[in-house]
A = this chain, B = another copy of it.
């Protein structure tokens, strides 16, 4: 049993392959590579300036994260999601965030509670002023804190992976012409409910509220997607 070191040194010579992986992932998430699009190894090696070895290793990781699909002897394509799959991912996210909220309510220390307070008040304030961007940022920070403060070793990574698969469609949800006008209010209300449950250390209520809020968000997105005639995936 090794003694816990006094301070962790973050020395991480950051292998090049991680940068490669990161670069491709970001390009996919940001939509530079669109769903359905083929990603040939040559193209990637050229644009990234690294060897095929590294590109292939990065592709393997992105594959197990579900960001790309690799067709044998054909190569990877940016994964397209059906509406069913999107809905499924959102449902999974809902229960995982619910779990995070539960753990947070049970285990969070004073510092994390304080940070959460900050984010919550900030989001609410921004919303009341009419600062949509600020409200969104605060809300995002709130949820990030919820996860990181849950003291769960695995949840952050799992949710991050989910996020990266979903992010493209979240964006749609924010800019869609037909998005509901009451939704932002709803989101803030949801946040308040979660927040107060946590402050009361009511783990069950925190979980339920988080799940419900996530589900409402998902429902709204699914409604928008259903009304979007052009299919979810891009043409190649």
**C-alpha spacing A95/B231, complex, angstroms:** 32
- Across the interface, which residues of B come within 8 angstroms of A231, CB to CB? 1
Q: Cβ of A152 < 8 Å from any Cβ of B?
A: yes
The complex is assembled from copies of this chain, and their number is 2
Are A99 and B95 touching (Cβ within 8 A)? yes
**C-alpha spacing A88/B53, complex, angstroms:** 35
Q: Cβ of A91 < 8 Å from any Cβ of B?
A: yes
Are B61 and A13 touching (Cβ within 8 A)? no
- Across the interface, which residues of B come within 8 angstroms of A99, CB to CB? 91-92, 95
Stretch binding the partner chain, chosen from A64-72, A127-135, A218-226: A64-72
Are A13 and B63 touching (Cβ within 8 A)? no
Are B64 and A155 touching (Cβ within 8 A)? no
- Across the interface, which residues of B come within 8 angstroms of A88, CB to CB? 152-155
- Across the interface, which residues of B come within 8 angstroms of A89, CB to CB? 154
Q: Shortest beta-carbon distance, A91 to chain B, in Å?
A: 6
Q: Shortest beta-carbon distance, A106 to chain B, in Å?
A: 11
Task: State which of B13, B60, B73, B155 has its C-beta within 8 Å of the C-beta of A57.
Answer: B60
Q: Shortest beta-carbon distance, A66 to chain B, in Å?
A: 7
**C-alpha spacing A64/B192, complex, angstroms:** 35
CB nearest neighbor in B for A70: B15
**C-alpha spacing A95/B72, complex, angstroms:** 34
Q: Cβ of A201 < 8 Å from any Cβ of B?
A: no
CB nearest neighbor in B for A154: B88
Interfacial residues of chain A within 70-107, with CB under 8 A of chain B in the complex: 72-73, 84-85, 88-89, 91-92, 95-96, 98-99, 103
- CB pairs A–B below 8 angstroms (9 shown): A1-B231, A14-B72, A60-B60, A85-B153, A88-B152, A88-B154, A91-B103, A92-B155, A92-B158
A-B pairs, top 3 by smallest CB distance, nearest first, are: A60-B60, A95-B95, A64-B64
